[in-house]
């Protein structure tokens, strides 16, 4: 199988992925922004997320910054910033910030020492926690501990759940496809020998 | 923060997740099926996927089976099987197969020794490869090596990419929300100082 064909197939066959911008800052103050489709939920208590980093990619700046500074931000991509978000994956030479290159705006909030993306609707501030080397292919699973979460009030339900389609958050389909999901329903906790039930809208 | 509120918030704030059914079989022939929202792409060469397993959950059957037999299947959830797929998370007592309980059909193809879901459109057969203990919360990242992929021809583009909305594959929003994504566009490989471009449909 040709390498590009294989990459497209294997990257798209596992289902939809999250679509986020990782914001970091270097010791010299240079801000970095990079699109990632590998951010995942790891656990709620303690609140942890993870993302997979390829052995050698343009995203190495993000990794070096978050290791050195200890902090990074995760910012949802929505339709209006899709082109700018995708453009952060271009390999810019030298010390040029992807914020400046793509027109996205760095934003510092509540003394958090990594830049958020002002244009994003849902944003998370994380402290670097640990990393695991996936020896099968040399990738790294980086674990971050969530320290700050920003969600507009009208997108969060009374029970804490965030309705992502209200933020028009995108999902990734493979390496380069972007899709807009629409909520079908929330389902009640499943119990044996009971029909599945749709949760009433508790917003 | 109350535990359920925290769990809903943290599970939904990282963005969309994949939505898959894992099929396994025990040594005594009992088939097991369980919904997972944590299946992720790990790498293309070798073709690897992963999923996160909580320390002690109903999904332990899947884990014991795939460790013992060495194989498992990953089957996309689409709208028509959503209720049955969600119902696999109910805690059935004893040796009752979730296939029988939910009306989904086990299917064996090309000598693969774990059951696929006949009603799923996109399916992957994996061999257990390795696991990593995430010591921060005791979760396991299980790594599988992809051995078989089934994708209907009309859903795959010439360059290998699989257009997931043609399969009506769902995405998960948090623990219990299900969303149907619609493709916006595929974007061309990003290059510095060039405007982002939409890829022509090479289907």
CA–CA distances in Å: residue B41 to residues A124, B22, B200: 22, 15, 25
| DSSP reduced 3-state for A86 | helix
pLDDT digits (tens, 9 = 90+) for A85-113: 999 999 887 668 999 999 999 999 999 99
Beta bridge partner(s), residue A31: A25
A39 Cα to chain B: minimum distance (Å): 7
- Write down the pLDDT at residue A201: 75
pTM for this predicted structure: 0.96
Asked if A160 lies within 8 A of B5 by C-beta distance, the reply is yes
Task: Compute CA B44 distance to the chain's CA centroid, rounded to the nearest angstrom.
Answer: 16
CA angle B89, B49, B96 (to 5 degrees): 25
Residue among A124, A195, A201, A121 at smallest CA distance from A153: A121
B64 Cα to chain A: minimum distance (Å): 21
| Residue in A2, A4, A12, A15 to test binding to B, most B beta-carbons within 10 Å | A15
The complex's ipTM works out to 0.96
Contacts B86 to A, Cβ<8 Å? 187, 190, 196
| Residue in B3, B15, B142, B168 to test binding to A, most A beta-carbons within 10 Å | B15
- Write down the pLDDT at residue B130: 98
- Write down the pLDDT at residue A93: 77
Q: What is the mean pLDDT of chain A?
A: 94
Residue of A nearest to B46 (CA): A137
Q: What is the mean pLDDT of chain B?
A: 94
B151 Cα to chain A: minimum distance (Å): 8
A54 Cα to chain B: minimum distance (Å): 8
pLDDT digits (tens, 9 = 90+) for B87-145: 999 988 766 899 999 999 999 999 999 999 999 999 999 999 999 999 999 999 999 99
Question: How are beta strands B123-134 and B139-150 bridged, if at all?
Answer: antiparallel
Contacts A121 to B, Cβ<8 Å? none
């Amino acid at each position: 199988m040709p390498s590009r064909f294989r990459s497209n197939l294997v990257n798209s066959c596992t289902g939809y992925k999250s679509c986020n911008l990782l914001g970091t800052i270097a010791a010299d103050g240079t801000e970095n922004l990079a699109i990632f489709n590998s951010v995942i939920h790891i656990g709620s208590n303690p609140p942890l997320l993870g993302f997979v980093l390829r052995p050698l990619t343009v995203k190495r700046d993000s990794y070096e910054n978050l290791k050195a500074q200890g902090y990074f931000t995760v910012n949802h991509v929505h339709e209006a910033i899709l082109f700018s978000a995708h453009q952060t994956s271009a390999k810019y030479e030298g010390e040029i910030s992807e914020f400046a290159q793509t027109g996205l705006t760095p934003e510092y909030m509540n003394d958090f020492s990594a830049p958020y993306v002002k244009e994003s609707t849902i944003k998370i501030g994380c402290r670097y926690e640990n990393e695991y080397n996936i020896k099968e292919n040399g990738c790294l699973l980086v674990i971050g501990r969530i320290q700050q979460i920003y969600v507009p009030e009208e997108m969060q339900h009374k029970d804490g759940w965030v309705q992502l389609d209200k933020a028009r958050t995108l999902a990734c389909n493979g390496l380069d496809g972007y899709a807009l999901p629409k909520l079908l329903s929330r389902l009640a906790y499943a119990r044996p020998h009971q029909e599945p039930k749709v949760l009433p809208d508790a917003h």
